[in-house]
Chains A and B, each alone.
Chain A
Amino acid sequence: MGESRPHSDQKYIHALRDNDSKLISEIYEKFAPKVVNYVRQNSGDEPAARDLIQEVIMIIYDQAKTKNLQLTCPFDAYFFLLCKRKWLTRAKKISKHRVTNEPLSGFISETVEEEVMATQHFETKMQLFKSLFQKLGDTCREILELSFGKYAMEEIASQLDLSYAYARKKKSLCMGQLTKWAKESAVYKQLKEQ
């Protein structure tokens, strides 16, 4: 992806990143109705649209928080395409019917496609890391979860009855285990190729 200047809709990304409730409501007001309509026309209902929208916003938030997401296309197109793609996979799962209703989808510009792909890749990666985390042993999970919270390593060490040096080493090695698994996984290798 080139070093294009961020789109003026970058304000929505910042709003999510900064948990700005006013702009988050604006996102709903402006962009949710189109998604609700789309879901309704494609064998879904409003509660399904509601979940879908919340999930997609969560993913954008996660990406904005960890990756410094720079939007180079309108938020509207980006958000709608993300919702649509997610809905298509979901609708297939539920009904086994093909969703054929494509209301005025028009042409998808390359920048929108790129941004959406980047977010989908991010989501894949995040899900991979999440599921690998579940594979870790109890001690690893415990030590990591504590370290993500507000506890300092010294406190964690004493809580787990470990020496500080050992606790730090253990934490690094647990994170290292995750990294190794991620590196070896087919999903990750594929994402890297793209």
Chain B
Amino acid sequence: MDDQNIILFQNYLDQKLTLEEKKTFEQRLQADPEFESDFELYQEVNDVVSHLHSEERNKFKEALSQASSTFFEKPAKDKEAKVIRFKPWQYSVAASIALLIGFFIFQNSGSPSLNDYVFSDTITLTERGSENLHTLAETSFNKGTYPEAITHFKSLLAEDPNNAEYQFYMAVAHDNLQQFDAASILFTNLIKGSSAYKYKATFYAAISQWRQDNIAQAKRYLESIPDGASEYKVARKLLKKL
């Protein structure tokens, strides 16, 4: 984006171009995608930044805090939230879900099923860098859109390369995409380290090996989890079953 284009953008927005120039400008928008996206971004930055500094926004902010005071500073019982109760049909839905869950647990009580052990928690990342990059990583991971989650973890790691938490979840994301090599590099790194994720990584590295049918390697990982680690018990149980 060079200065000449920028001045052109502003002249176009301020309607300072001649008819001929305007036509050329619009043709270029159609023909040149980068020119177009630069122009759109220029416009967006302009819109947002000028909005943030506008008098109108200040007025709204004042009105809003007024509304907030009116609501929050009135007698307490007026603003008690209503309790939401189940409707009868919702009870039956809840009951059938409970039944289904029971059924699956019953079904799986025999030989170990990989699905019981794969990582399925909803994650919440510890706050460090920018709030929003975290949210993006967290949401995409929780939604199961792992390629997107990986991109976000990469940028988070670019800022904070030794962060074990990011490395761990990025490994899980790779593992879920069956990108076992990428997962393994990250897991190994964590296993060699001494972070809080050391044994968690060991455990899920084992699960990853199991997923690839390398039972022997999976067992080796499980065996290396020492008594005292929070994964110890479940690792031992799984070792017996495998």
Residues in A lying within 8 Å of B, measured CB to CB: 16, 19, 21, 24-25, 27-29, 32-34, 36-37, 46, 50, 53-54, 57-58, 61-62, 65-66, 85, 88-89, 92-93, 96, 98-99, 104, 113, 117, 120, 123-127, 129-130, 133, 144-145, 147-150, 168-169, 171-173, 175-176, 178-180, 182-183, 186-187, 190, 193-194
B47 within 8 A of A: yes
Residues in B lying within 8 Å of A, measured CB to CB: 1, 3, 6-7, 9-11, 14, 38, 41-42, 44-57, 59-61, 63-68, 70-72, 79-82, 84, 124-127, 130-136, 139, 143, 148, 151-152, 155, 158
Contact of B124 with A92 in the complex, beta carbons under 8 Å: yes
> In the complex, A123→B14 CA distance in Å?
27
> In the complex, A125→B133 CA distance in Å?
11
Given A53-B68, A148-B53, A183-B1, 5 other A-B residues pairs in contact with their CB atoms under 8 A: A58-B64, A66-B48, A120-B139, A127-B132, A190-B136
Chain B positions within 8 Å of A29 at CB level: 71
Closest to B60 in A: A19
Q: Closest approach, in angstroms, between the C-beta of B36 and any C-beta of chain A?
A: 13
Known A25-B67, A176-B1; judge A124-B132 contact (CB<8 A): yes
The 8 Å CB contact of A176, one of B42, B64, B65, is: B42
> In the complex, A34→B124 CA distance in Å?
22
Contact of A28 with B71 in the complex, beta carbons under 8 Å: yes
Contact of A54 with B64 in the complex, beta carbons under 8 Å: yes
Chain B positions within 8 Å of A28 at CB level: 67-68, 70-71
Chain A positions within 8 Å of B64 at CB level: 24, 54, 57-58, 61
Chain B positions within 8 Å of A19 at CB level: 56, 59-60, 63
Contact of A179 with B79 in the complex, beta carbons under 8 Å: no
Closest 7 interchain pairs by CB?
A176-B6, A33-B81, A172-B10, A124-B132, A28-B71, A148-B53, A37-B81
Chain A positions within 8 Å of B10 at CB level: 168, 171-172, 175
> In the complex, A112→B64 CA distance in Å?
24
Contact of A89 with B135 in the complex, beta carbons under 8 Å: yes
> In the complex, A31→B213 CA distance in Å?
51
Known A19-B63, A28-B67, A54-B68; judge A145-B126 contact (CB<8 A): no
The 8 Å CB contact of B71, one of A25, A96, A145, is: A25
Chain A positions within 8 Å of B155 at CB level: 186-187, 190
> In the complex, A154→B134 CA distance in Å?
44
Closest to B53 in A: A148
Chain A positions within 8 Å of B68 at CB level: 28, 50, 53-54
- What are 23 A-B contacts defined by CB distance under 8 Å? A16-B60, A25-B67, A25-B71, A28-B68, A58-B61, A65-B57, A92-B124, A120-B139, A124-B132, A126-B48, A127-B132, A129-B49, A130-B52, A133-B52, A168-B10, A173-B6, A175-B42, A179-B45, A180-B1, A183-B1, A187-B132, A193-B148, A193-B151
